[in-house]
Each structure stands twice: as C-alpha cells, then as structure tokens.
Structure 1
Amino acid sequence: MQSLKQSSGLLEQTTDLETARALLKRCHFDLIIVNLDLFSSLTEDWEGILRHYSDHSDIICLSQRRDSELAIQVLRAGGADLLHKPCTVNEVMRSVQFCLERRSKERQSYLRSPWQQEKLANSELIGDSAAINEVSGIISRVAPTPSTILIEGESGTGKELAARAIHLQSGRKGAFVAINCSAIAPELMESELFGHQRGAFTGAQQARDGLFVHANGGTLFLDEIGEMPLSMQAKLLRVLEERCIRPVGGEKQIPVDVRIVAATNRQLEKESQNGNFREDLYYRINILTLTMPPLRERPEDIPPLVHHFVSKLSMELSVPEIPLSHADLSQLQQHDWPGNIRELRNFIERCLLLGKLPLNYLRQQKAPPLTTPGAGYPGDWDLERVIRHHTEQVLQQTRGNKSEAARQLGISRKTLERKLQAWASDTD
C-alpha cells in the first residue's frame, strides 16, 4: 500500500496491511494507492476497507485483473480510479494529479461556504500568545463536557467569542443563543428566558417560547450575568438544578437540555460577599472559570488581529485594504487599548473608511508620577516594606485593577497576587 500527502510531501509505503492501518490511524492521507493483488493471499475484505477509508481519502487501485466486474466493485466501494498493471509512471501521475486537484477544489469550496465562514468567524480566537493559547487549550478540553462555564474578563476581550468557540467544539446539535442580561428590563427577563402563556400578563396576547426553549440541545450564553436581578437569580438557580423551566403563567414544567455559559466583567465573588449576587448561584455557575486576557497583556497578538480585521472589514465595507508597515504595527502594539479587541476593531474600521492609519489618535496617556513620603522612603524601611508600599500605590492608582497594576510593575498577575496574599497573612 502506498500513500501520498500533497501538502507536506509525506510519502509512506508498505506491503503489510497492519502497518498500513497503523499509518492511517496516526496520520490523515489525502490519497491512498492500493495494490489489490496483495489481497489475493489474504482473507481481508478489500471492499470493506475501501469503504472505510474512502470517506476521508481518495483511493486509487492497482490490479492485474482487467474485467469490468472489478472496476464496478472498486467504484461501488468508493475508489476514485482503477489502473491496470503494468501501468506507466505517467498514467499513475495523471490519476494522482486529478484526485489531488479535485480534493483541493472541494476544500476551497467548503472554506468559502457561508456556513463555514460564519463558523470560522465565530469560533476563531486569533493570536499565538501564551495567554490566548492557554485559553484555547482550556476550551478544547472542557467544550465536550456538559459543565457550566463562567467567563470573566474586561469588556471587549472576546468573552462571547470564547462562548461561541465552546459551543462549536462541544458537538451539541442545538443552537447557540446569547442574551445580554443588562439589556433586558428586570420585569421582562423571566418571560424572555422561560417564555409565557397567553394572558400571563398585560400585553401577552399569545404564548411565546423563551430562550431556554430556543437553546434546547444547544448552548445559552448569559452575558453580563452580574446584572441579573436577585429575584431572577433564584429562578435561574432552580432551573440549573432541576433542568426544567416553567413559562410565566404556565403550570407544567418543561424539561430542557441546555448548556449554560455565563460571562461577566465584574468580580462575582466580591459581589456575592457584598450581597449583590446570590452566593449559591455563584458557586453553581463557577464550576470552571475561564479568564479572557486583556489586549494590553498580549501585544504580540495585535499584528495578526489587525491583519484579520483589515481583511474582514475591507470586504464587509467594500473598501480597499490599507498598507501596514512594521512601524505602524509597532505603534499599535504600544497602545494600551482600554477597550480591548472591540476598540481595536472599531479603530481599524475607522482607518479603512479614512483610507489610512491615523496613528496620532493613539498617543499614550502617561500615568501621573507616584507620590512617595517626602523626598523618598524612610531610611529605616527594609526592601520588602518599600516594595509593598510601592505596590499598594500602584494598585490605588489603577483603582484595584490587578492586571494593569502588574503590567505597570513589570511582573505577572500571579506574582502580584502571591505578594498580596503574603502581605495579607502578615497582618492577620
């Protein structure tokens, strides 16, 4: 059995069926060339083997037999071509070229399809930084499970993008349904989520399904869940525990199979401690927390994001792409992007409309100098006390934003949190 992979130039050859199976299990091959005469001394069902592998690979068969029955068997089993031995190199290469070109065209057609374009746009987390690779790795691991996931992160970091990636990698057949909890009036949220019966309230002239029903078998994304009213939080908790909903004005429970992904830009643990968020609901949705890194913590991802938005938005706006120099990208990497990816996207859209990069808009706002006691720290302070005082000042300046404070201090957020925990234990 001989196999060829065009994209990487990989070529494997063996006369042993078990070795061939091991190769096919380890690698994908665009094309497989099979000598059917080798099966004459085996009890293996070559037609069954062709059917098994022809779904994912083109198969060219070689044989000394020249009868039409064999050709029909090959085609019915999914073979792409049958060549009679002895055959010339040119005959083999013509068949190989035809198969590979056809498969290439099928791939291009697939990638250009509206469904696949939407899937790529909704699921692709662009970048190769350690932070975004960690997020992608976690998503790949947890997506196939039914567990509830809480996504934390600043506004504009791509929390909904991560939620869509979780859904698309989950294998769930139902729809991905998103709702922004802060955009729904409190008195309408129950009806929005669970639906209502006709006459359940003033204006309910007909029954209506809620988002849980629309997301049945799929994923419901609750964006800004920290803005959900406390009364609604209790009802959501009950649904998560019982896997049933009851429409407003209804009497019957409706079972639902919905995977919940929630997102917030608030610190729900503190909100629950302060009584602004139900503690039991927090623990119920916080089975796994996925933290989306702000753009300022992964500047190496800015160039690929810029190229992505330039290409995507130029097509949407029907305007030409703008040239980007290395200096342009370097200056974009120096900006803090407080609005994160959403701000970057809007900036690129504005640039495309203007036909240039107005980089003067990205002047850095310099932080005010830190104040220290007198002309410096007291001489009797040890180094640890100086570090602690300086860290506390930076945290105060950043209004408690640990990620920004760590960036200004030149350390990782985990290092900052370890320091804060150590200092807190010293004061206990």
Structure 2
Amino acid sequence: MTNTRRQILVVDDEADLRELLVITLGRMKLDAQAVGTVSEARRALQEHSFDLCLTDMNLPDGDGIELVRHITQQLPELPVAMITAYGNMETATLAMKEGAYDFIAKPVTLDRLRRLIDDGLGIRDKAPSPTGSEQLIGNAPAMQQLREQIAKLARSQAPIYISGESGTGKERVARLIHMLGPRHEKPFIAVNCGAIPSELMESEFFGHRKGSFTGAFEDRKGLFREADGGTLFLDEVADLPLHMQVKLLRAIQEKSIRPVGEAHEFEVNIRIVCATHKDLAEEVVQGRFRQDLYYRLNVIETRVPPLRERPEDIPLLVEHIMARLCDQWQMPQPSLSRAARDALREYAFPGNVRELENILERALTLADGPEINERHLQLRAPVERAPGQQDAPREAGRPANQTLEDYLQEIEKREILRALDTTLWNRTAAAKKLGMTFRSLRYRLKKLGLDQGGDEDEGESE
C-alpha cells in the first residue's frame, strides 16, 4: 500500500529535541525523518520527497539559513520553517527574508508546534482562484510583476509591508495575498490605524474586559483575536502613535495579547500585513516610527505602482469600472468619446485608481445621453505657477460650444455632488453644507436629474 501520510524533514543537532519532534509529529499522524546536519539534510532532500521541512539555526556543518536558501532555490514548493533561540528576532526575520514561511522559538511548545505544522502543510493545499471582482486589473509589466510577487508572498507567513500612493489599491493586494494563501478560509480583518482614537487603540486591538474602564459595558475580543487564524491588515500603519507601536511590537513578537483588564494572555496565530502611503523608512529617520517595529513589519516589501506608471491599463480599468457601476445602477453602459479617452490617457491621476473610479462615477451622473464626453469627466487642469508661487486649484473655463446656461448647470451639479460625496449622500447634511434648505436641495436634485428617491427620514430642516 502507498503511504499517504505527510512527510516531514526535521533538521536539528540536539538528539532530545529531534526525538521530541518525531514523537509529536507521529501523534499528528505525520511521518518524520530526523537528521542532525546540513549535509544530511541535503542528502535526504535529494533522496526523498517531503511536504515540509523544519530546521534549527545552529548546525555542526553550517546554519539553517543556508538550508533555507538552498530549499528556496532548489525546491521552491517545499515549505520550510526555522527553529530559533528564544528572543532572537533578528534570526527569525532573516530566515523569513530568505524564504522561510515562519519560525518557532525554543523552548518549543507543543501547541505552537502544531500550529506551525498546520500552517506549513496548508501552504501545499491549493487556494481558490480569485474571482473577477477580486483580481488585479491591468497587463502592464509592473502589474504582471506584482501578480507574481503576490503568488509568492501568499505562500509565506512572514509579515508584509505594502507601499504605494493613496488610491493605488493596497488593501486589494492585501486581500489577494490572504485569499491565495493557506489562511483563505479564516478571517481577513482590515483596520485603518489613523481612524482609531489614540485612547481607544489598545482596546480596539487587544480587546477588554467588561467594566475595565468607563464605557466598557461588555467584553470585547479585539482585532487580534477576531483575526485569529487569519490575516490582520494594518492600513496606514505609520499613523500609529509611539505608545501603541511598543504594544504592537510585543504582540507580534510574543504571538500573544492581553486584553485591557484581563489577568492572563491569549495566544494568537495571525499574519500581519501592513500598508501606508507614507515613506516608512523616512518616518523612522524622523523619529515618528520605531526602528525595531519597522524591521519586524518590513520583512518582505512589495510596491503597488501608481496609475501614471501604467497608462496602458487605463482602458481596461475604465471598462471594468464602468461595467461595475452600470450594473449596480441598473443602467445601460454609455460609450466614451475619443476626446474623453484621450483626456484620460493623458491625465496624471494624482489620486490613482480611486480617483479614476470617482471621475467615472461623476461622469455617469453628469452624462445625459449614450456617450460620455470630455466635459463630463471634469478632470483637474494641471496647475501653472510662477517661481515661488504656491499651488492653487484652477477651474477650467467654459468651452466655446457650450451655452452659459449649460455651463452654470454643470457647476451647480458639481458643487451639489461634491457636498453629497462629503456627507455620504446625507441630503440634510449636504443642504446645510450648501447653505440651502432641504426642500430647495430636493428641488434642485430633481431638476438636475440627480434624485435617487428615499431620504425622507432625514427630515426637512428649514
């Protein structure tokens, strides 16, 4: 009969630890082969097929980093994890940079070992392919390279730092890394670090016990425990205050957290993915971000390119976004005039893909017929300034073929839409922002063809 049990290679020069690992793996219904040197490990890898490798750092004829590097280059499909000395985060970080999916510190605890093995074996199991709405749109070389990086990063459990400008799609990249990895069936929890009040951060991240502080009316698990087994995405991580950076570093290193008001700690098994539009290295230089946390989070870095670096992808993105919006709004999809397409291709998109989405959403609202023209896009004109002059917004003038009435109507539409966008389409709040009554705004919405119905519960503040 063929042996269907998973095969594990254990590399450690301590006989007692080798024996303990073999016994533990056997209880997990796994077959283990244990060796004590780098050369023996290389021989075993040549002669046998393994599902996972677990190696110590210090070996008589070399080190575990050398073996990790060899496996990554010669057997890239084989997950490998590192056994490190307690508290030696430099070694753990280096191992993951070289390709190890995770690490375990001595003394090895059985619960932690089981989690490590389960995570590693899960890497060999194929995750589902992302659906159309979850894929990255674009065929530019930078996007093809990014897809390749995502496929590799999904196999690892190392912390990932995603850099890129605002609006490039950093959270989408983080979700893809999660979906394509062994944690795809577990939670993906995203949090904007800049949106949490400083005094509530510890409670939001680590949870709290009922009654531990004023306003704690019930127990709260916190983001770390909600993401247990899955991925925690820390967006705008550079906005974390220094006192919270210390607590975050400890939680990542110890793989455990203590809720506010709780007497004991809880172990957590999560993958950390973080992102920011700021230059995190510069934040370290300026003293606004801890260097030790930076090195812990930036084990592997990937960059999401801005839209201006891949203009050939704009037509694909336009088609994708327009189809999605028209499907949501249950309306026929209009075409774009040649002038509109040329204008989009030449535009720099300082707000990247997010700005393109906003531009198309506005254009769909402003267009009256089956075609979107350049004037419906309302692209921001490039700013011209004299030496030493500050940047200032500049409004485009009225086109020669447009009547004054139409031009003023478009200005009215633009200002109303801007107020509605900033108030999340709360018409009462938008009316106050525009300095008019709710009834007056409702009349203008109907006149301009922007009325969506509803909102009657918002009241009429005269």
Question: What does residue range 376-415 of structure 1 map to in structure 2 within 5 Å?
Answer: none
1:350 Cα deviation after fit: 1.2
Q: 2:280 maps to which residue?
A: 268
Q: Is the contact between residue 319 and residue 353 of structure 1 (CA under 8 Å) also seen in structure 2? A: no
Asked if 1:362 is matched to 2:362, the reply is no
Q: 1:293 maps to which residue?
A: 305
Q: 1:99 maps to which residue?
A: none
Q: 1:420 maps to which residue?
A: none
Q: Where does the alignment leave 5 or more consecutive residues of structure 2 unmatched? A: 1-127, 392-462
CA pair 184-218 structure 1, distance change in 2 beyond 3 A: same
1:369 Cα deviation after fit: 7.5
Structure 2 residue corresponding to 1:216, chosen from 213, 228, 233:
228
CA pair 227-363 structure 1, distance change in 2 beyond 3 A: closer
CA pair 367-132 structure 1, distance change in 2 beyond 3 A: farther
What is the identity percentage for the equivalent residue pairs of Structure 1 and Structure 2?
47
Question: What does residue range 327-342 of structure 1 map to in structure 2 within 5 Å?
Answer: 327-342=339-354
Q: 1:72 maps to which residue?
A: none
Larger radius of gyration: 1
Q: Is the contact between residue 163 and residue 304 of structure 2 (CA under 8 Å) also seen in structure 1? A: yes
Q: 1:76 maps to which residue?
A: none
Structure 2 residue corresponding to 1:143, chosen from 138, 150, 154:
154
CA pair 130-119 structure 1, distance change in 2 beyond 3 A: same
- In 2, the alpha carbon distance for the partners of 1:187 and 1:358 equals 49
- In 2, the alpha carbon distance for the partners of 1:143 and 1:117 equals 12
- In 1, the alpha carbon distance for the partners of 2:163 and 2:244 equals 21
Matched pairs, number: 258
Structure 2 residue corresponding to 1:152, chosen from 143, 158, 163:
163
Q: Is the contact between residue 129 and residue 180 of structure 2 (CA under 8 Å) also seen in structure 1? A: no
Q: What SS does the corresponding residue of 1:260 show, helix, strand or coil?
A: strand
Q: 2:325 maps to which residue?
A: 313
Asked if 1:125 is matched to 2:139, the reply is no
Can you list the C-alpha shifts for 1:222-280, whole angstroms capped at 9, x where unaligned? 00000001100000000110111111111111111111110001111111111100110
1:370 Cα deviation after fit: 7.6
Counterpart AA for 2:335 = P
Q: Is the contact between residue 319 and residue 352 of structure 1 (CA under 8 Å) also seen in structure 2? A: no
Q: Is the contact between residue 195 and residue 208 of structure 1 (CA under 8 Å) also seen in structure 2? A: yes
Question: What does residue range 146-185 of structure 1 map to in structure 2 within 5 Å?
Answer: 146-172=157-183, 173-185=185-197
Q: Is the contact between residue 320 and residue 352 of structure 1 (CA under 8 Å) also seen in structure 2? A: no
1:358 Cα deviation after fit: 4.8
Q: 1:351 maps to which residue?
A: 363
- In 1, the alpha carbon distance for the partners of 2:390 and 2:298 equals 30
Q: 1:235 maps to which residue?
A: 247
- In 2, the alpha carbon distance for the partners of 1:131 and 1:364 equals 27
- In 1, the alpha carbon distance for the partners of 2:152 and 2:145 equals 11
- In 1, the alpha carbon distance for the partners of 2:383 and 2:254 equals 52
Q: Is the contact between residue 130 and residue 179 of structure 2 (CA under 8 Å) also seen in structure 1? A: no
Q: What SS does the corresponding residue of 1:177 show, helix, strand or coil?
A: strand
Asked if 1:303 is matched to 2:315, the reply is yes
Q: 2:434 maps to which residue?
A: none
Q: 2:295 maps to which residue?
A: 283
- In 2, the alpha carbon distance for the partners of 1:117 and 1:325 equals 35
Question: What does residue range 21-100 of structure 1 map to in structure 2 within 5 Å?
Answer: none
Structure 1 residue corresponding to 2:271, chosen from 239, 259, 262:
259
Counterpart AA for 1:171 = P
- In 2, the alpha carbon distance for the partners of 1:287 and 1:348 equals 37
Q: Is the contact between residue 193 and residue 211 of structure 1 (CA under 8 Å) also seen in structure 2? A: yes
Q: Is the contact between residue 195 and residue 211 of structure 1 (CA under 8 Å) also seen in structure 2? A: yes
1:124 Cα deviation after fit: 1.0
Counterpart AA for 2:307 = L
Q: What SS does the corresponding residue of 1:261 show, helix, strand or coil?
A: strand
Query: Cα RMSD (Å) of the superposition?
Result: 2.2
Asked if 1:248 is matched to 2:270, the reply is no
Can you list the C-alpha shifts for 1:147-204, whole angstroms capped at 9, x where unaligned? 1000111110100011111111113121111000011001111111111011111011
1:328 Cα deviation after fit: 2.8
1:324 Cα deviation after fit: 2.4
Can you list the C-alpha shifts for 1:282-307, whole angstroms capped at 9, x where unaligned? 01001111111111111111100000
Counterpart AA for 2:372 = L
Q: What SS does the corresponding residue of 1:170 show, helix, strand or coil?
A: coil
Q: Where does the alignment leave 5 or more consecutive residues of structure 1 unmatched? A: 1-115, 372-395, 399-428
- In 2, the alpha carbon distance for the partners of 1:397 and 1:284 equals 39
Q: Is the contact between residue 340 and residue 373 of structure 2 (CA under 8 Å) also seen in structure 1? A: no
Query: Normalized per residue, which structure has more helix?
Result: 1
Can you list the C-alpha shifts for 1:73-107, whole angstroms capped at 9, x where unaligned? xxxxxxxxxxxxxxxxxxxxxxxxxxxxxxxxxxx
